[in-house]
Amino acid sequence: MKTQIMLTFFLLLSVVACKPTLTAIGDTQIDVFTDTHLYFDPNLKTTHFSPDNLSETDSILRLDAGRVLLKKIHIPQYFKQPEVSVQMSLTSNGDPWDKSGSLFIIPASADLNMLDLEMGAVKKEHFPFQAAGTISKQIGGKHFMPNIELLRFMTPFGVGFFNNDPRVANLKPVYIPKWETQVQWTQNITQLLPLLENELYVGVFIDTWTKEGYKLSVQLNFKESTVANHAIKEQQVIPLVNTVKYASKQVYFDAFHKDDLQVSIPVSAPYTNAKLYYLTTGHGGHAEGDEFTQKENVIYLNNTVIKQFVPWRDDCASFRRFNPTSGVWTEKTIWKGQEIEERIASSDYSRSNWCPGSQVAPEVIELGTMQPGDYTFKFSIPEAQAITEDKINYWMVSAYLVFDKN
């Protein structure tokens, strides 16, 4: 018996000894954008593309009159498992407003993508209602994939640029020591490693309407595992939907008031440890619009509800130090038994899953194993409101599927 145990032990040692050692390449930081100026310029002209308003300067593509920046980067091939994160810092360059923003990648494996939509190869007619470029779909034998978000963020009111403005100085609450010079966000995106390889476009969108705009920096950080022979987890990522307005041919997406967004995918082999990543924020419409009223989001898989919740942030006052140009007024409250007027800033108010100066965390929905078959995801916001002449209601919703490869 002892001899058999020793033989088994030496056999195991020989198997381990024969296993090739994984090459370590070390940690990597990729500077995607460095103090880059993003701004709106309606006169921005085409230089390398037609027929739409794309231009390229200093290896950066500027789309939609400059509100979208794209840059192609090269990512080294990792053999050991890294932890991947994205870091973004932002300061106002003169834009005093809070604006929605999205840091994203164009999936390199897509037959058709956002650039094809921008340049007219993908038509609006290929999609239902207002969903041009928003859903994963087969078009003429080719697969269109929407962008995948690395980070959803909201710019604060005038961070950094207006700190020394005399009017702003009078708005500073007593409970913050100083106005911040910039805002910074970090997001772990290790689950997106299968898409972060070779060459691909990384982009950033900010819904600015000023020539002053913002200055921003973005880094991708790969921190390699120190565990010996820690092999990369074999996973796959499938983009599903993304309603953010990245292309000039897109519109603010208010169509949830008409119908749900549906995406069907065939599963030929089991998807194990499947997870749905879902990002949602409501915007606009003034005081009674989708930005300031609570709206339920419902997600279905094959007509079964897998997530039902109201996306809402009620901690926005904690971001006041990033919002020097936020509008300020007073509201009545009771203090020591007396009615008083208390100052409140626009940036303090609760909103549909975001605050001025915040990043937006994805909802992660565990799906377990998806056996072979046909699956349909349905995304619904039943009480979403329409855009009217003076009220711009819209929802920025994106989702993608991650699962283990067998």
Token pair, residue 149, equals 């978000």
The rounded Cα 398 to chain-centroid distance in angstroms is 8
Full set of structural domains in the chain with CATH: 23-404 (2.60.120.1570)
- Pairing type for strands 198-206 and 373-380 reads unpaired
Residue 281 contacts residue 393 (beta carbons within 8 Å): no
Residue 360 contacts residue 354 (beta carbons within 8 Å): yes
What is the spatial distance between Cα 399 and Cα 130, in angstroms, rounded to a whole number?
17
Token pair, residue 152, equals 């959803």
Closest CA to 379 of 390, 363, 391: 363
pLDDT tens for the 406 residues of the chain, in order: 555 555 554 544 444 445 678 888 899 999 999 999 999 999 885 444 444 444 555 689 999 999 999 999 999 999 999 999 999 999 999 999 999 999 999 999 999 999 999 888 888 888 888 888 899 999 999 999 999 999 999 999 999 999 999 888 888 999 999 999 999 999 999 999 999 999 999 999 999 999 999 999 999 999 999 998 899 989 999 999 999 999 988 999 999 999 999 999 999 999 999 999 999 999 999 999 999 999 999 999 999 999 999 999 999 999 999 999 999 988 888 888 888 888 899 999 999 999 999 999 999 999 999 999 999 999 999 999 999 988 999 999 999 999 998 7
Residue 367 contacts residue 400 (beta carbons within 8 Å): no
Length in residues, the chain? 406
| pLDDT tens-place string over residues 179-211 | 999 999 999 999 999 999 999 999 999 999 999
Residue 181 contacts residue 112 (beta carbons within 8 Å): no
pTM of the model: 0.91
**Burial class of 336 by CB neighbour count within 10 A (0 to 12, 13 to 18, 19+):** exposed
Residue 84 contacts residue 30 (beta carbons within 8 Å): no
What is the spatial distance between Cα 316 and Cα 359, in angstroms, rounded to a whole number?
12
